[in-house]
Amino acid sequence: KERTFIAIKPDGVNRGLIADIIARFEKKGFKLVGLKLVHPTEDFAAEHYDDLKARPFFPALVKYFASGPVVAMVWEGKDVILTGRKLIGATNPADAAVGTIRGDYCIIMGRNIIHGSDGADSAKHEISLWFKENEIADWESAVHKWTYEK
């Protein structure tokens, strides 16, 4: 059962894009198993992006990510980590294909509205950083057989 961590960043929340972004993952067929609105502290934002701490844009990234509430989510489904990254599009919205979330809704890298885990290890790490076990719902979708063969 593959799961990934997705977060709508403060710009996505402020710009009223929560419903549209959630709809893209829902309509694709993925299952929402965790969801909450959280205003991260700068310390927490720095922990979330710990692997980028040596980069020159890190202080600006931490300030941006902690600048307002984010919608933290866990999505489940076959190949959801990689396919989720495809739905999101390239890091730089200028390079993101039209039809992807970043390609359709934003313009610059420092305001790219959404985060998605980039691999199995980061997904596991980020889900445990953001969610307690009892905040994740292990539920069976009634339409499962219309989305998968078995």
Cα 28 to the chain's mean position, in Å?
Answer: 15
Question: Per rule CB under 6 A, is residue 41 in the interface with ligand GTP?
Answer: no
Active site residue 125: no
Question: Per rule CB under 6 A, is residue 31 in the interface with ligand GTP?
Answer: no
Residue 150 known to bind ligand: no
Residues engaged in binding Mg ion (CB under 5 A): 118
Question: Per rule CB under 6 A, is residue 57 in the interface with ligand GTP?
Answer: yes
Question: Per rule CB under 6 A, is residue 109 in the interface with ligand GTP?
Answer: yes
Would you say 5 or 33 has its CB closer to ligand GTP? Answer: 5
Q: What angle do CA 4, 7, 9 make, to 5 degrees?
A: 160
Residue 25 known to bind ligand: no
Which residue in 48, 115, 125, 144 is the catalytic one? 115
Residue 15 known to bind ligand: no
When binding is defined by CB under 6 A, the residue of 61, 62, 73, 127 that contacts ligand GTP is 61
CB crowding 123-147: b at 16 or more within 10 Å, else e? bebbbeebbeeeeeeeeeeeeeeee
Between 18-28 and 80-88, two packed helices, what is the crossing angle to 10 degrees?
Answer: 140
Binding-site residues from annotation for ATP: 9, 57, 85, 91, 102, 112
